[in-house]
Amino acid sequence: MASTESKTVHSAALTYFSMISLLTLCPPFVILLWYTMVHADGSIIQTFDYLRQHGLQGFVDIWPRPTVMAWKIIACYAAFEAALQLLLPGKRVEGPISPAGNRPVYKANGMAAYTVTLVTYLSLWWVVLSGSFPLGCLFGIFNPTIVYDHLGEIFSALIFGSLIFCVFLYIKGHLAPSSSDSGSCGNMIIDFYWGMELYPRIGKNFDIKVFTNCRFGMMSWAVLAVTYCIKQYEQNGRVADSMLVNTILMLVYVTKFFWWEAGYWNTMDIAHDRAGFYICWGCLVWVPSIYTSPGMYLVNHPVHLGTQLALFILVAGLLCIYINYDCDRQRQEFRRTNGKCLVWGKAPSKIVASYQTTSGETKTSLLLTSGWWGLSRHFHYVPEISAAFFWTVPALFNHFLPYFYVVFLTVLLLDRAKRDDDRCRSKYGKYWKLYCDKVRYRVVPGIY
């Protein structure tokens, strides 16, 4: 079966450009960001001057080589998360019906895995720190300060290891696809970039995208946020209020993600984007390195905000995270009840849209046009971007680099909104036009 998804997401020219850009620019950018944050005082100018003076050899010199310690940390972490994904109990959850008519089944144990991960991580650090357990040294690789001290080597190992993993996914898609939601578009580069399989699994129960996106990528975000906080404490004997605000907001956001993980399985990342370099390398490498970068900067640049400003930023960030959650909750409840629910205290406004599956079967969907989803077609991206700004702003404005994540997230979500609109326009036809006429703005009400 040909990969229709890869044909409709972007043009071939843009896909080639994106592929080349990701392969050639993103890996060195991850290393340059780490080097600048940790060794160049967060200054892009300082890093640029170093590279201008030393040229290509200077860049080679600052690229850390993957070490045995880095591989051990990654292997232990990945094995631990895979074991939790397989072994922890969880509610059986069905995903959306795929274009080929398949309905994936998941075990919703993300919140349990998240809790066990953080409790285990902090407990092992406390054991090593206090020296209360004579075998504590055996767990030293889990000491957050050691993780931070080997961070460049870990990112370097992830860059190369994840590339090999994506090659494995490409080969698996050709030789042993997990379902009929797979296939080639006839172009090797696009197949590698966008992926061969929609729902790749190892065996019957181990879902690869749940592991890469949720249990490795998003879990790493929380683990590294805690790591940076602890590293600052061990360096300075205290945690600055700026780091506390940053860490609390990121942990609340990630907690919200795992609380709502079953809903995430209905989103574009899981239900429409195939498991290729674009999404899997991004979740395995880009999320741990870029998404956590404001905290990485704050480790060596503690800022004293003062109680009043710190509380203001914290409350504003929490409000944005709540609105983002409520947007998703509102739509999920609307879908769960087939529109028989209240939205902002009233019966929801909706459009009944029919569409045809790839097998020619006619189905219907309900498109919500009230509540948060009456403000814009992707309003939930507004509080998500705002929340990212609020957990970055404790760094203040001495350097631009901590704000790269906010800029990147804005570009990513605007592109995702366009891709989702294009996909829905192709799927629903005239019904999508009716929906757009009723909900005029794509993301920002009154502006875009």
* pLDDT tens column, 348-360: 999 998 887 766 7
Q: Phi and psi (nearest 5°) for 286? A: -65, -45
Which residues make beta-bridge pairs with 346? Answer: 343
342 and 246 housed in the same domain: no
For residue 288 the two structure tokens come to: 């741990």
- Residue 417 predicted with pLDDT over 50: yes
Domain closes at, from 275, 304, 333: 304
The whole-angstrom separation of Cα 183 and Cα 200 is 12
252 and 325 housed in the same domain: no
159 and 89 housed in the same domain: yes
Encode pLDDT of 235-258 as tens digits. Answer: 999 999 999 999 999 999 999 999
- Closest by CA to 131, choosing from 144, 120, 142, 140, is 140
Q: Where are the beta strands (DSSP E) in 26-151?
A: 91-94, 105-108
Mean pLDDT of 264-293: 91
249 and 346 housed in the same domain: no
35 and 66 housed in the same domain: yes
Domain closes at, from 252, 284, 304: 304
The whole-angstrom separation of Cα 220 and Cα 344 is 35
Encode pLDDT of 369-403 as tens digits. Answer: 999 999 999 999 999 999 999 999 999 999 999 99
42 and 66 housed in the same domain: yes
For residue 48 the two structure tokens come to: 């640029």
- Residue 214 predicted with pLDDT over 50: yes
The confidence score (pLDDT) of residue 119 equals: 94
- Residue 426 predicted with pLDDT over 80: yes
294 and 358 housed in the same domain: no
Helix-, strand-, coil-residue percentages of the chain, each rounded to 5: 70, 5, 25
Instruction: Give the list of residues 6+ apart from residue 9 with CB closer than 8 angstroms, or none.
Output: 15, 194, 273, 419, 422, 423
For residue 274 the two structure tokens come to: 């195939």
The confidence score (pLDDT) of residue 102 equals: 84
What interhelical angle do 44-62 and 12-39 show, nearest 10? 100
- Residue 200 predicted with pLDDT over 60: yes
- Residue 13 predicted with pLDDT over 80: no
Mean pLDDT of 210-218: 96
- Residue 12 predicted with pLDDT over 70: no
26 and 97 housed in the same domain: yes
257 and 320 housed in the same domain: no
Instruction: Give percent above pLDDT 70 in the chain.
Output: 93
The confidence score (pLDDT) of residue 140 equals: 45
The whole-angstrom separation of Cα 361 and Cα 7 is 21
254 and 398 housed in the same domain: no
210 and 259 housed in the same domain: yes
Higher-scoring residue by pLDDT: 253, 448: 253
Mean pLDDT of 93-114: 90
Q: Where are the beta strands (DSSP E) in 48-197?
A: 91-94, 105-108
Count up the domains in the chain and report the number.
Answer: 2
Lookup result for tokens 């060195």 = 28
What interhelical angle do 110-130 and 219-236 show, nearest 10? 20
pLDDT band at residue 101, thresholds of 50, 70 and 90?
Answer: confident
**Structural domain that includes position 82:** 1-304
Instruction: Give the list of residues 6+ apart from residue 165 with CB closer than 8 angstroms, or none.
Output: 280, 281, 284
Its pTM stands at 0.89
Domain closes at, from 254, 270, 304: 304
255 and 198 housed in the same domain: yes
